[in-house]
């Protein structure tokens, strides 16, 4: 391999000079590419932030765009010690007088008093436990320790076909200065369907302690009686579940839950303002500096559509309550929303249906917002297309960098060759000059200067 050194003939640092010329040639186009890449990366990041905030905002619209979910009902009981209630989507406003005349109870039976539960063996044979629904299971006790009360308790509880009973051993005073044990078997569920019977009793002497009972309630008078296997009474009143607690009377009421509706509106406003904040940073001027998406026509179009919808009236609205502003939802100078909850409550009291139209109708505010933003943030929507365009342009910048590197490499090689050639020429000229000077000095008649 040939070894070359630059600057021998001229004394010039050829490699340093070439590096400076190459760097100078590279600097401007490389800076332009860096600036374009930085701008595109900022736009991609800003678009991601905006899409995320819009997606969160869209989720907040779910309750308001569904009329059934928007009309929320809540229940109350005048005497919660007697009964409480809960509602579902099918509940309707109303008031009912409730009289709980019987509480549901689970069947409970116990054995006769026995001696030590862990050592005293009862009889041997089969024990069959059955409920009023016809469910049953049978255990066989052969003796030799498997028929103590504790062993029988464990066998009942561990039985694979146990349909729903629990066995317990209680230790009590036998009334004669000593103690004894009883096996207690209880149905896991209340109601007469779970009433228990015991057959082939191996000397346990099972007897009922608490008979199974259903809950019984009177609704608006003794002529309307509802019987329930459990104390959770469903089906008596559409959309209402009553939880009976004790005997007595109470009045239950169902009405629209204004607090829940206002909370949904507040969540919508909070999500909107978060989204608006991202728009204000990324798609507007901030202290004289444009946001990353300020010049993006797709983002500007969406921003304009959202702003227009927020301030619009609802075409299908037929009352004075026909816009967000009429419900107490106003816009400030930054485009953010705020709620006057007192005004919204008044609107709900005065014309609930009109408020529902503004917020939940197919041409209402939230439905139009949902349809509009969905076109942008859905899979392969306008934002995904825009993001793909940005990334394509980044790829083109990478291609331009490769072409720049190739061109600069060729320039560096050419300049290096030219300067080395120049250096060689200078070296030849220097050598020739030195030779001529020496020859001239040796000619006759040449007077040498004294030092």
- At 449, the pLDDT band (50, 70, 90 cuts) reads low
- 435 lies in a domain? no
224-248 pLDDT, tens digit each: 999 999 999 999 999 999 999 999 9
- Assign 3-class secondary structure to the chain: CCCCCCCCCCCCCHHHHHHHHHHHHHHHHHHHHHHHHHHHHHHHHHHHHHHHHHHHHHHHCHHHHCHHHHCCEEEEECCCCCEEEEECCCCCCEEEEEEEEECCECCEEECCCECCCCCCECCCEEEEEEECCCCEEEEEECCCCCCEHHHHHHHHHHCCCCCCEEEEEEEEECCCCCEEEEEEEEECCCCHHHCEEEECCCCCCCEEEECCECEEEEECCCCCEEEECCCEEEEEECCEEEEECCCEEEEEEEEECHHHHHHHHHHHHHHHHHHHHHHHHHCCEECCEECCCCCCHHHHHHHHHHHHHHHCECCCCCCCCCECHHHCEEECCCCCEEECHHHHHHHHHHCHHHHHHHHHCCCCHHHHHHHHHHHHHCCCCHHHHHHHHHHHHHHHHHHHHHHHHHHHHHHHHHHHHHHHHHHHHHHHHHHHHHHHHHHHHCCCCCCCCCC
Return the minimum-mean-pLDDT range out of 132-146, 196-210, 296-310, 401-415.
Answer: 401-415
Tokens of 371: 């349809």
158 and 292 part of one domain: no
261 and 372 part of one domain: yes
82 and 43 part of one domain: no
In the predicted model, what is the mean pLDDT of residues 358-379?
Answer: 94
pLDDT at 407 over 70: yes
Query: What does pTM read for this prediction?
Result: 0.61
141 and 129 part of one domain: yes
Tokens 């995320």 belong to residue? 52
8-34 pLDDT, tens digit each: 555 677 778 888 888 888 888 888 988
295 and 422 part of one domain: yes
- 155 lies in a domain? yes
129-144 pLDDT, tens digit each: 999 999 999 999 999 8
Of 152, 187, 210, the last residue of a domain is 210
Between 90 and 213, the more confident residue is: 213
In the predicted model, what is the mean pLDDT of residues 115-135?
Answer: 92
Alpha carbon distance 387, 380 (integer Å):
10
User: What pLDDT is attached to residue 3?
Assistant: 36
Q: Domains in the chain: how many in total? A: 3
- 443 lies in a domain? no
- Alpha carbon dihedral 275, 276, 281, 287, in 10-degree steps, equals -160
Contact status, residue 215 vs residue 144, Cβ threshold 8 Å = no
Q: Which domain holds residue 112?
A: 108-210
Alpha carbon distance 398, 393 (integer Å):
9
156 and 271 part of one domain: no
Most confident range (mean pLDDT) of 81-90, 364-373, 394-403 is 364-373
How distant is the alpha carbon of residue 218 from its chain centre? Answer: 43
141-177 pLDDT, tens digit each: 999 899 999 999 999 999 999 999 999 999 988 777 7
234-287 pLDDT, tens digit each: 999 999 999 999 999 999 999 888 888 999 999 999 999 999 999 998 988 877
Contact status, residue 423 vs residue 9, Cβ threshold 8 Å = yes
Contact status, residue 404 vs residue 14, Cβ threshold 8 Å = no
139 and 168 part of one domain: yes
In the predicted model, what is the mean pLDDT of residues 299-328?
Answer: 94
- 442 lies in a domain? no
User: What pLDDT is attached to residue 7?
Assistant: 53
46-72 pLDDT, tens digit each: 999 999 999 999 999 988 888 777 877
- At 446, the pLDDT band (50, 70, 90 cuts) reads low
pLDDT at 196 over 90: yes
155 and 252 part of one domain: no
- 353 lies in a domain? yes
81 and 58 part of one domain: no
288 and 364 part of one domain: yes
- 407 lies in a domain? yes
- 439 lies in a domain? no
262 and 395 part of one domain: yes
Most confident range (mean pLDDT) of 75-84, 169-178, 377-386 is 75-84
What are the distances in angstroms from CA 450 to CA 433, 447?
A: 21, 9
In the predicted model, what is the mean pLDDT of residues 317-344?
Answer: 94
139 and 81 part of one domain: no
- 337 lies in a domain? yes
């Amino acid at each position: 391999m040939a070894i070359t050194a630059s600057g021998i003939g001229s004394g010039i640092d050829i490699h340093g000079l070439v590096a400076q010329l190459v760097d100078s040639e590279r600097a401007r186009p490389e800076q332009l590419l860096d600036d374009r890449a930085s701008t595109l990366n900022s736009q991609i990041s800003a678009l991601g932030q905006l899409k995320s905030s819009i997606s969160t905002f869209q989720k907040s619209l779910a309750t308001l765009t569904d009329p059934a979910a928007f009309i929320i009902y809540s229940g109350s009981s005048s005497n919660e010690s007697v009964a409480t209630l809960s509602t579902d989507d099918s509940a309707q406003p109303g008031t009912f007088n409730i009289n709980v005349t019987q509480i549901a109870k689970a069947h409970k039976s116990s054995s006769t008093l026995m001696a030590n539960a862990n050592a005293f063996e009862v009889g041997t044979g089969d024990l069959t436990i059955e409920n009023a629904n016809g469910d049953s299971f049978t255990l066989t006790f052969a003796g030799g320790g498997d028929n103590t009360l504790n062993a029988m308790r464990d066998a009942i509880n561990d039985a694979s076909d146990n349909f729903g009973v629990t066995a317990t051993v209680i230790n009590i005073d036998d009334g004669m200065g000593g103690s004894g044990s009883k096996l207690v078997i209880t149905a896991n569920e209340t109601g007469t369907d779970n009433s228990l019977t015991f057959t082939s009793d191996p000397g346990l002497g099972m007897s009922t302690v608490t008979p199974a009972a259903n809950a019984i309630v009177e609704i608006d008078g003794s002529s309307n009686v509802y019987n329930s296997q459990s104390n959770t009474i469903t089906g008596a009143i559409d959309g209402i579940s009553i939880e009976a607690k004790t005997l007595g009377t109470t009045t239950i009421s169902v009405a629209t839950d204004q607090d829940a509706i206002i909370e949904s509106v507040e969540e919508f406003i909070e999500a909107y303002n978060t989204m608006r904040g991202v728009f204000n940073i990324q798609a507007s001027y901030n202290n004289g500096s444009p946001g990353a998406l300020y010049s993006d026509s797709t983002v500007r179009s969406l921003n304009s559509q959202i702003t227009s919808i927020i301030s619009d009236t609802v075409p299908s609205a037929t009352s004075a309550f026909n816009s967000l502003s009429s419900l107490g939802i106003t816009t400030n100078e930054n485009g953010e929303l705020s709620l006057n909850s007192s005004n919204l409550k008044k609107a709900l009291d005065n014309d609930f249906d009109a408020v529902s139209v503004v917020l939940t109708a197919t041409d209402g505010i939230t439905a139009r917002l949902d349809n509009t933003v969905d076109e942008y943030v859905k899979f392969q929507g306008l934002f995904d297309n825009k993001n793909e365009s940005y990334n394509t342009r980044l790829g083109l910048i990478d291609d331009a960098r490769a072409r720049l590197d190739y061109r600069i490499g060729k320039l560096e090689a050419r300049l290096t060759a030219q300067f080395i050639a120049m250096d060689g020429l200078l070296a030849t000229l220097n050598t020739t000059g030195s030779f001529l000077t020496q020859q001239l000095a040796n000619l006759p008649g040449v007077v040498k200067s004294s030092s």
